[in-house]
Amino acid sequence: MIINIITLFPEMFKGVFEESILHRAVESHKLEIRISNLREYGLGAHRVVDDSPYGGGGGMIIKPEPIAAALEDITEKGHVVLTTPRGKLFHQSDAIRLSSMAVITIICGHYEGIDERVTELFVDEELSVGDYVLTGGEIPAMVIADAVTRLIPGVLGKDTIETGDSHYNGLLEHPHYTRPREFRGLQVPEVLLSGDHEQIRLWREEKAMEKTRHMRPDLLEAVKTQNRQPDRSGGED
């Protein structure tokens, strides 16, 4: 898989992509990261990439020409994503969907935004990692790249889709325990020591439901809504 990233701050990505799972994915040739420095496509001697907004208002807007030039310099663009606070909220289902693509390109939003004509001409979707505002789109790009990379077959050495990780099935993850069996008066639940895999599975499902109900009841509502959707397959009883 190839992930292209267009950014004003390429140095921010060095530590992230040179460590842990992302680094191993690159080393094993399952992932290729290509960073484009937007400043190199700036206009004039000062490499200008932004300007004041038409219609007035505070802040600066990224000009369309540098982004267009950066995109046109990328031979394999694939699916183009813009990180922006106004985008669709990024979910695990989006990570799964993007991980099936051979190439994605992430444009890191900045300042007050980018010229809307870039979005109209080049962007396939706009994504946000949360209902808050960051100083730029670099950290969201890292989040998306990380979430997508761990789903590439072979990166984690297992089938990551069929796991009990949080958000895969709409619920939060069940509690985990490891050695020692007793820690400061707290014991590992007996069912996990029983060797009864069916009982362990049922316990984990129950605890995942409890954790979700306590921490993220909104997820339960989403699961209920999904389960209530009518069958539109066209089949007959």
Domain holding 49: CATH number?
3.40.1280.10
User: Based on the domain organization, do 48 and 144 belong to the same domain?
Assistant: yes
Assess if residue 159 is contained within a domain: no
200: burial class by Cβ within 10 Å (0-12, 13-18, 19+)? Answer: middle
User: Based on the domain organization, do 176 and 145 belong to the same domain?
Assistant: no
Q: pLDDT value at position 221? A: 81
Could you tell me the residue range of the domain that residue 29 belongs to?
2-149
User: Based on the domain organization, do 90 and 141 belong to the same domain?
Assistant: yes
Q: pLDDT value at position 162? A: 47
Instruction: Confirm whether 217 is a catalytic residue.
Output: no
Three-state DSSP class for residue 211: helix
Catalytic member of 94, 112, 126, 173: 112
Q: pLDDT value at position 231? A: 55
User: Based on the domain organization, do 143 and 205 belong to the same domain?
Assistant: no
Instruction: Confirm whether 153 is a catalytic residue.
Output: no
Instruction: Confirm whether 230 is a catalytic residue.
Output: no
Catalytic member of 34, 85, 146, 210: 85
Instruction: Confirm whether 115 is a catalytic residue.
Output: no
Assess if residue 15 is contained within a domain: yes
pTM of the model: 0.85
Q: Which segments of the chain have a pLDDT < 50?
A: 160-162, 233-237
Q: pLDDT value at position 139? A: 97
Q: pLDDT value at position 25? A: 96
Q: pLDDT value at position 78? A: 98
Per-position b or e across 89-117, b if 16+ CB within 10 A of its CB: ebebebbeebbeeebbbbbbbbbebbbee
Q: How many separate domains does the chain show?
A: 2
Instruction: Number of helices (H) and strands (E) in the chain: give both, helices first.
Output: 8, 9
Assess if residue 235 is contained within a domain: no
User: Based on the domain organization, do 93 and 129 belong to the same domain?
Assistant: yes
What is the domain-level CATH number for residue 212? 1.10.1270.20
Please name the amino acid found at residue 176.
H
User: Based on the domain organization, do 84 and 177 belong to the same domain?
Assistant: no
pLDDT in tens, 124-135: 999 999 999 899
Residue at which a domain ends, from 101, 125, 149: 149
Q: pLDDT value at position 160? A: 44
Q: pLDDT value at position 170? A: 79
User: Based on the domain organization, do 66 and 120 belong to the same domain?
Assistant: yes
